[in-house]
Structure 1
Amino acid sequence: MLKPDVDSLVPHVPFDRRTFLKTALGATFGGGFAAAVLPVSAQTIHTDAEGLDAGEVGFESNGTLIPAYRAQPRSKTNLPVIVVVHEIFGVHEHIADICRRFAKLGYLAVAPDLFVREGDASVYPTIQQIDQNILSKVPDAQLMSDLDATVDWAGQHGGDLKRLGITGFCWGGRVTWLYAEHNPHLKAAVSWYGRVAGPHTQSAPENPLDLAGELQVPVLGLYGRQDTSIPQDTLAQMKQAIAQGPQGGRGSEFVVYDDAGHAFFADYRASYRRADAQNGWTRTLAWFKSHGVA
């Protein structure tokens, strides 16, 4: 596992060295995959860090140290910013690799550990255990606050917040929708197979569908028609709700890949569909560029 440059990180947050070491070094950043996805596929993509400043950073959010993985072109500033929201597996190697892919294209990409208070999702051997021990305990309001802190950090460390975008995958796709509804200063968002409807709980009192009328940010939603976890009728409802919002449906778009299921972008899993993933990535980059995040 890669070790973070602790000396360069500690000044970013008002915590002592011991607190930072205990928190940040317990995370699986940039050096391994979550236990629930092992063994990983032979087709797993690896992006090197040559020419990049890449690794762990940390910042405060409501009194808690939030570790994050960030990648950006070395010694560059005034960069467009992409916040990358992790899957249910936390900030493991796949998410770090996505950050490096963006950085190679000139972005400051940062992926905060949104589970830091609840535990390390990477150690649980099953998705069910992650859901029970982590996901069910993470309040949506806390997520929005932590993402606000992530954006603030990026703006103080080489990012141009006038060119701000967000993308997320699976669980992070839902969070991406919520943050697009929360932060009108975003230029654009891309949600990869993020559910828009679901149960209402104490931690998740509202879903993206419930808040669609507040959406002022253009969102690209990328979905698989064979994804049984996200019914197509919920996407139809989301389209209708957006159309009734302040933008009248202008700006947001849904792309549904006929033969794809859930997690079709996850190259380290059997669910990966290369052609659809590549098409989605091309659309993602074009979406950000066309909305001023480039």
Structure 2
Amino acid sequence: MTEIRTETFPLTDGSELRLTVAEPETAVRGGLVVLHEARGVTDAVRGLVSSLAQEGWLAVVPHLYHRDGADELDAADGDDRVRDQVNRLSGESVLADTDASFVWLAERGVRDDQMGVVGYGLGGSVAMVVAASRSLGAAVTIGGGGILSPVSEGLPSLVDVAGELTCPWLGIYTEADPSIPHEDVEKLREAAAAAGVATDVVRYPAPVDPAEDDAKAAADAWQRTLNWFDSHLR
């Protein structure tokens, strides 16, 4: 079974970023920064990191809530508590944390063009912001909200940054999520197409979360994600 561990990485402001990492037992194909969901570094996120490592990717999760001393929100915390935590994020903070994660990968021999970023939900939204702000090899957004209105007051909307994508980007969405309308996804598709890099948007009728009952859609979305990184991180 793939070992998952958490370590710290010093930031320029004197604080320490917590990182959850998983290393392949075979040769490393490249490195992926995995951005966590709104509730933090949950079991689902750790499972994703482990699965990526099993596919040969050196995977690292920056704990984006570390400035508030949080890793994972308690199961008893309601939606208001989650929204408050998400709203504490800013473009400056998430870029500082992802930059540190890319440095961590580089220190382990991963080249810039072998680095990618991926996330579900909140993490998917942040992944696109990172891909529009930094030079890397590829990015995947899975169910990321904030398309027309930002998920946080300190972050941009996705349509505002889509045209600035610096790398191939794949967006995966589901019709089963009423919070992300079809019209919004189509606007994001159009905005991303103007970026001048390879982009694709796939929309499934069923949920794509591996925890959901419809395993077929989730499995197909997972394979598309792997194929995207296989094609663009070489």
Structure 2 CA distance for partners of 1:166 and 1:199, relative to 1, 3 Å: closer
C-alpha distance in 2 between matches for 1:259 and 1:180? 26
Contact 1:108 1:158 in 2 (8 A): no
Distance 1:126 1:272, change over 3 A: farther
Tell me the secondary structure at the aligned position of residue 182 of structure 1: coil
Deviations along 1:110-145, one digit per CA (max 9) or x if unpaired, are: 011001112424225134143244111111221011
**Inter-partner Cα distance in structure 1 for 2:151 and 2:192:** 20
**Identity over aligned pairs, percent:** 27
Deviation at 1:239, TM superposition (A): 1.7
The match for 1:229 among 155, 176, 179 is 179
Distance 1:68 1:272 in 2: 30
Does the 8 Å CA contact 1:78/1:158 hold for their aligned counterparts? no
Question: Which of 203, 206, 220 is the aligned partner of 1:279?
Answer: 220
User: In 2, Cα distance between the equivalents of 1:66 and 1:258?
Assistant: 38
8 Å contact kept, 2:73–2:82: no
Paired AA for residue 283 in structure 1:
R
**Separation in structure 2 between the aligned mates of residue 210 and residue 272 of structure 1, nearest angstrom:** 34
| Gap change, CA 1:284 and 1:131, over 3 Å in 2 | same
SS at match of 1:287: helix
Question: Quick check: 1:224–1:258 contact (8 Å CA) kept in 2?
Answer: yes
Find the partner of 2:121 among 159, 167, 170: 170
* Partner SS for 2:73: helix
8 Å Cα contact 2:20/2:61 also seen in 1:
yes
SS in 2 for 1:189: strand
3-state SS of paired residue (1:95): helix
Which structure has the greater CA radius of gyration? 1
Aligned residues: 231
Residue pairs, 1:127-146, within 5 angstroms: 127-146=78-97
5+ residue gaps, structure 2, are none
TM-score, normalized by length of structure 2?
0.90
The one of 128, 138, 157 equivalent to 2:108 is: 157
| Aligned twin of 2:74 | 123
The 3-state SS of whatever aligns with 1:255 is strand
3-state SS of 1:165 partner:
strand
* Structure 2 residue identity aligned to 1:273: D
Equivalent-residue separation in structure 1 for 2:170 and 2:98 (angstroms): 19
Q: 1:70, 1:172 → 2: CA distance?
A: 16
Q: 1:246-257 to 2 correspondence within 5 Å?
A: 247=196, 250-257=197-204
**What does residue 265 of structure 1 align with?**
209
Within 5 Å, which residues of 2 pair with 1:237-252?
237-245=187-195, 247=196, 250-252=197-199
1:107 aligns with 2:107: no
Deviations 1:263-294 (A, max 9, x none): x3242xxx44210110011111111111125x
Distance 1:229 1:127 in 2: 17
> Contact 2:133–2:166 (CA<8 Å) still a contact in 1?
no
Match status 1:60 vs 2:10: yes
Contact persistence 2:28–2:57 (CA under 8 A)? no
**Unmatched runs of 5 consecutive residues or more in structure 1:** 1-47
Check the 8 A contact 1:173/1:193 in 2, yes or no.
yes
Cα distance, 1:200–1:110 mapped onto 2, change above 3 Å: closer
